[in-house]
């Protein structure tokens, strides 16, 4: 097998064909037909072995996660997925690995009707880059710069699960309180995150701003606050935790929910005229966690009525 037969065997027919792809894999470029009156939302993410995933992680999960992180960016903008490209750097030609990787990738892609339209294949340290493309009305996109004083802050799902799984794997967290089911649940939250693609699209017109939580709530919400020139207060008792996470020490669970990344839930901002609608439509799916204020930064009020600032400690590749 060579580079070209590898592409043909594993990637050429990987995903379902879409009508808006005039030409897919196999030429120098793909030819794509975006709908009129929409912007193409574009985002790229790279996963590097040993940095973003453990070497022992199974290839099927890795295929899933490589696309999930990109879909999550589309979700955070409110965009509808359409196409993606894949740049794959492989240390060796391992057909078992390729079969499992492409299978995980294809399953998630076909769930979201996103078509693989091209890529690049090279030899070197295992690295996966995926660029996703989606459609959005540019006037309605949930930009980070749109939060205003008096808006409410919401989060989807549960926070901190992926961070707990990572700390368990690194033996930085005791698993004494957790059952095998809890551990399995947390591990799949880390290795097979669910991008909130439908929620993102359904929030368009209701939420003004959104971000997906990849680096930790404090850091990611901080991006919205900075871009919007506002502050915020969180109600820490309302931060949504999974049943598994609540079995940990309360302080540990809270720190994970605030500071750990890789959950790929959405944090979004809703203006007063839409609170009621959001809480009715997405009941059980989203939680109100705080409010946009004119404070200088992100704060919470502790048990003694003191205003305490939250400083992000999320992962930064170039810190030190």
Burial 221-247 (b: 16+ CB within 10 A, else e): bbbbbeebebbbbbebeebbbbebbeb
CB of 108 to ligand ADP, least distance (A): 15
Residue 152 makes contact with ligand ADP by CB under 6 A = no
Burial 278-298 (b: 16+ CB within 10 A, else e): beeebeeebbbbbbbbeeeeb
- Of 108 and 199, nearer to ligand ADP (C-beta) is 108
Which one of 25-33, 76-84, 150-158, 258-266 is the stretch in contact with ligand ADP (CB under 6 A)? 25-33
Spatial contact of 190 and 261, defined as CB atoms under 8 Å apart:
no
Residues 6+ away with beta carbon under 8 Å from 1: 9, 93, 95
Cα gap 282→171, rounded to integer Å:
36
Binding mask 59-98 for Mg ion (x = CB under 5 A): ----------------------------------------
Residue 120 makes contact with Mg ion by CB under 5 A = yes
Q: With contacts defined by CB under 5 A, how many residues of the chain interact with Mg ion?
A: 1
Spatial contact of 242 and 161, defined as CB atoms under 8 Å apart:
yes
CB of 87 to ligand ADP, least distance (A): 7
Which one of 113-121, 169-177, 195-203, 268-276 is the stretch in contact with Mg ion (CB under 5 A)? 113-121
Residue 119 makes contact with ligand ADP by CB under 6 A = yes
SS3 content of the chain, % helix, strand, coil (to 5): 35, 25, 40
Residue 26 makes contact with ligand ADP by CB under 6 A = yes
Burial 133-151 (b: 16+ CB within 10 A, else e): bbbbeeeebbbbebbeeeb
Q: Considering CB distances under 5 to 8 angstroms, the limit depending on partner class, which of ligand ADP, Mg ion, none binds residue 19? A: none
Cα gap 77→75, rounded to integer Å:
5
Residue 109 makes contact with ligand ADP by CB under 6 A = no
CB of 37 to ligand ADP, least distance (A): 28
Cα gap 131→125, rounded to integer Å:
19
CB of 24 to ligand ADP, least distance (A): 8
Q: Please spell the DSSP secondary structure of 180-219, one letter per residue.
A: HHHHHHHHHHHHS----HHHHHHHBTTBSEEEE-SS-HHH
Please pick, from the candidates 2, 5, 19, 27, the single residue that binds ligand ADP as defined by CB under 6 A. Answer: 27
Site residues (CB under 6 A) for ligand ADP, limited to 66-105: 86, 88
Which one of 53-61, 114-122, 142-150, 257-265 is the stretch in contact with ligand ADP (CB under 6 A)? 114-122
Residue 3 makes contact with Mg ion by CB under 5 A = no
Residue 7 makes contact with ligand ADP by CB under 6 A = yes
- The angle at the Cα of 35, spanning 206 to 198, to the nearest 5 degrees, equals 35
Which one of 61-69, 115-123, 191-199, 255-263 is the stretch in contact with Mg ion (CB under 5 A)? 115-123
Site residues (vs ligand ADP, CB under 6 A): 7, 11, 25-28, 86, 88, 116, 118-121
Site residues (vs Mg ion, CB under 5 A): 120
């Amino acid at each position: 097998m060579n580079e070209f037969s590898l592409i043909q065997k594993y990637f050429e027919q990987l995903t379902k064909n879409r009508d808006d792809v005039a030409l897919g894999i196999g030429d120098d470029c793909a030819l794509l037909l975006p709908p009129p009156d929409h912007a193409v939302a574009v985002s790229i993410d790279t996963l590097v072995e040993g940095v973003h995933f453990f070497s022992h992680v199974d290839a099927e999960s890795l295929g899933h996660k490589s696309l999930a992180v990109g879909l999550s960016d589309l979700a955070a903008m409110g965009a509808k997925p359409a196409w993606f490209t894949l740049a794959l750097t492989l240390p060796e030609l391992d057909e078992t690995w390729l079969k499992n990787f492409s299978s995980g990738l294809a399953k998630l892609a076909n769930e979201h009707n996103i078509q693989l339209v091209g890529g690049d294949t090279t030899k070197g340290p295992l690295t996966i880059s995926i660029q996703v493309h989606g459609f959005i009305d540019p006037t309605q996109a949930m930009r980070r710069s749109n939060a205003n004083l008096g808006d409410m802050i919401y989060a989807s799902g549960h926070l901190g699960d992926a961070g707990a799984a990572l700390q368990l794997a690194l033996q930085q967290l005791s698993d004494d309180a957790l059952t095998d089911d809890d551990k399995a649940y947390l591990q799949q939250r880390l290795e097979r995150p669910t991008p909130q693609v439908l929620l993102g699209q359904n929030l368009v017109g209701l939420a003004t701003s959104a971000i997906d939580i990849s680096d930790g709530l404090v850091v990611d919400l901080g991006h919205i606050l900075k871009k919007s020139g506002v502050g915020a207060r969180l109600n820490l008792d309302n931060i949504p935790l999974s049943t598994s996470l609540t079995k940990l020490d309360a302080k540990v669970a809270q720190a994970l929910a605030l500071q750990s990344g890789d959950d790929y839930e959405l944090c979004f901002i809703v203006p007063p005229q839409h609170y009621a609608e959001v809480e009715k439509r997405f009941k059980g799916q989203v939680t109100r966690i705080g409010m946009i204020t004119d404070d200088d930064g992100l704060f919470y009020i502790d048990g003694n009525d003191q205003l305490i600032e939250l400083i992000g400690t999320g992962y930064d590749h170039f810190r030190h």
